[in-house]
Amino acid sequence: MNKFLPLFILVLFFVDFESKQSQFIARQGQITFFSYTSVENIEAKNNQVLSILDVEKQEIAISMLMRAFIFKKDLMYEHFNESYIESDIYPKASFEGKIIDFDSKEIDTQTKIIRGKLSIHGITKKIDIKASINNEDGNYVISGEFEVSVKDFQIKIPPILSSNIAKTISVKFLFQYQPYED
C-alpha cells in the first residue's frame, strides 16, 4: 500500500479537479454597421457571426461571411456585395486579438481594450477596440463599438456615389458566449 501512496499523491498533483472552462463559443454573434450620409443612411445586420473566446489566453477570434449581412433594401445588399466588398473574391471578414489586462474571475462588467488584427476586403489592419465584458454565471458577454475607415481597407467608391456613403463606418458587436464543448 505504501508503494502506491507517492504515485497517488503525484496523480493528485497533476489532476485539476476544479478545472475551469477556458474556451467559449458564440455561434450567433451579432455585428451591425451604420453609415450616415445626408442622402441616405445605410444600415446592415449580421446575426451569423462565429466567435471563440479563450479566457485563459485572453484571446478572441471572430469570423463572418460578408453575404450574411441583411439590409433594408435589396439594392443596398447587391451594391455592398458586388461593388464594394466584392464578396465573391473576399467572402469573409475576421478579427484575431488579445484582451488587454482581462481578469476572467471578475464578476462585474469590465471595460477593456482588445488589440488585434481586423481583415476585411483582403486587407489586414491593426486595431484597438474598446469592449465591455460581462461574466454572467460563467458565460461571457462581450459588446462594443468601433469605427472603420473605408479607405483603410481599399474599398473603392465611385466618385458619383461618394456622397452616398460615409468615409467612416460605425460598427457595433455583441457576442454571447457559451462553454465550448468538443
Using only the alpha carbons of the chain, give its radius of gyration.
21
Strands 59-65 and 42-54: antiparallel
The yes-or-no verdict on residue 10 having pLDDT over 70 is: no
CA triple 120-125-127, angle to 5 deg: 110
CA of 76: how far to CAs of 37, 41, 175, in Å? 14, 11, 25
Q: How many CB atoms are closer than 10 A to CB 175?
A: 26
The predicted structure's pLDDT at residue 20: 62
- Residue 138 Ramachandran class (φ > 0 left, ψ -120 to 50 alpha, else beta): left
CATH 3.40.50.300 fits 22-179, yes or no: no
The predicted structure's pLDDT at residue 67: 97
Predicted TM-score (pTM) of this structure: 0.84
The predicted structure's pLDDT at residue 53: 97
Q: Which of 97, 96, 147, 92 is nearest to 120 (CA)?
A: 92
pLDDT digits (tens, 9 = 90+) for 49-99: 999 999 999 999 999 999 999 999 999 999 899 988 999 999 999 999 999
pLDDT: which is higher, 122 or 20: 122
The yes-or-no verdict on residue 1 having pLDDT over 60 is: no
pLDDT digits (tens, 9 = 90+) for 110-169: 999 999 999 999 999 999 999 999 998 888 999 999 999 989 998 887 777 777 778 899
pLDDT band at residue 16 under the 50/70/90 scheme: very low
pLDDT: which is higher, 16 or 77: 77
